[in-house]
Structure 1
Amino acid sequence: MFTRIALFMLTNLAVLALASVVMSLLNVNPASMAGLLVVAALFGFGGSIISLLMSKWMAKRATGAMVIETPRNEAEQWLVQTVRRQAEAAGIGMPEVAVYDAPEINAFATGASRNNALVAVSTGLLRQMNRDEAEAVLGHEVSHVANGDMITMALLQGVLNTFVIVLARVIGGVIDSYLSGNREGNSRGIAYYVIVFALEMVLGLFATMIAMWFSRRREFRADHGGATLAGRQKMIAALERLQANHAASTLPSQVEAFGIAGGVGEGLKKLFLSHPPLEQRIAALRATQARAATVA
């Protein structure tokens, strides 16, 4: 967690420095809202969109996932056939199907669009789950693709990044003007950049909380989608298997939010988790199952 915070701070420092250089080159007054919004949107959405477009390539590189071009055995053939059937049922293009080497039970989906996606499963999943459970996990990941979750997350992150950049500079400008005796214009002292950097850290943390809250809501929808594609009891069984064999995820940060398994945490750490607790996800499916039985 400390490593992530350090990387987050360094990334924000780099963005702050680069945005400041660009605004100086373009003669953009940080107090000018129109110019600030344009630059903020450029930086806010730019990184998110580039990451989205490169998501499949980065996921393959980061995990070492091998795409199944031609199935080499019965297990790979079953994987491809199952994903194809579920993709047709969900109304999306056939995703690439891949396997990556990892001991834990996990899988992820990523891609720039509903018709250009990747679904990958770990070798640990293939070893430790039966076919019904694995089918439900694949349904969960195909549902992420069908729901457009990768695109939605990228757009949400772009909006949040933009607001962080804008608010940090607006509030920073007000504070700096007050401390410097209402100095105006493009001239800014080192205190302004220190204030803006500190504000970006604080606002960035709040933005991350919002993004992770949305990510947790999205997991419930993907579980429901997996239950629709594979069967509710299979989805419940898959989550129970994850609960019984829970291990720390080895997925890289680029795709961790789109894995079937999530982290655990207490206190404030819960606000930064991309997945809700497994017991909550299982309870939600059981509640839906009970409501359906009552209606029937």
Structure 2
Amino acid sequence: MSIFSDISDADFVDVLPARPAGPAPLVISVKLFGRKNRQSPRLQLNMSSDLESEIGGGRFAIQFAAAKGLLRVKADDRGAYEAVPSGRGDRRLIRCPLPPGVFAGSEPAEPEFYVDAIGRQILVEMPQAFLRSAPVPATPKPLAPAELPRLPRPPVRRPAETVTAELMGDPPPERSALAGRGEEDTHMRALLGLTPTFPRRIGGQSFAPAEAAILEVLLRREQVNRYGLLVATHDPAKGEDERDEKIIDVFISRMRARVQALGFDILNRRGGEFYLSGDAKARLKQLISEQEAPE
């Protein structure tokens, strides 16, 4: 009897393509941000830089079709969301509030998605684990008078010397405490000595706004830690700062060759503080004054 006779569909199984090695091109998860007593969930898209470049653009509009469970990430120069480096490999992060019908508490997932290069958008099928019905909270029983919580004390503005010490090298606050501090961050930026007139081109080398802010803080301060530089490089107009402090290492690594071309280098101590030597500060001041001097 021939092997080609008496066969049926039940005799066959699908042969699926092998999953490519390395990290998934897109991972979706829910993260909590904010102070411990006021944390709010955010939807996080962790994508490869190749995936981002397929649709082109650093800013995005995000929309959600609840009826179909589809999330649309569309490149838009006026979009409300910006892709930032993750600080771990060549990955990019986009974070947004949870869309209606999406709930927190799920493990990270690798969703199905479709890249529309012409429309400059990515359509993401939201995993079912993120769409399950929210649990109905149990009705709590009334508290006895002795069990009632105490009213919180009114907020007290911290003295400038305390904030300055925190920026210069004292142990930084927990990462969850960095979100939602727009007014205080503006106050801290003033303490760091940031000015709108510091040049972005020095000695023939060009620096991005965040890089120029790092140079200005290092010039005006004896030392500063990653948290201080994170505050210095954040634009308060963009809302809450949800970047990881490791992004500072990325900034300094990218600008180091240009700084060395100016005749000095950025140094760091074992505790994590960054600083410029006295000679480096003198050299930087000389370069700035030379280009400001009238010809």
**TM-based fold match above 0.5:** no
> Larger % of helix: which?
1
Greater relative contact order (Cα < 8 A, sep 6+): 1
TM superposition score normalised by structure 2: 0.25
TM superposition score normalised by structure 1: 0.25
> Larger % of strand: which?
2
The structure with the larger Rg is: 2
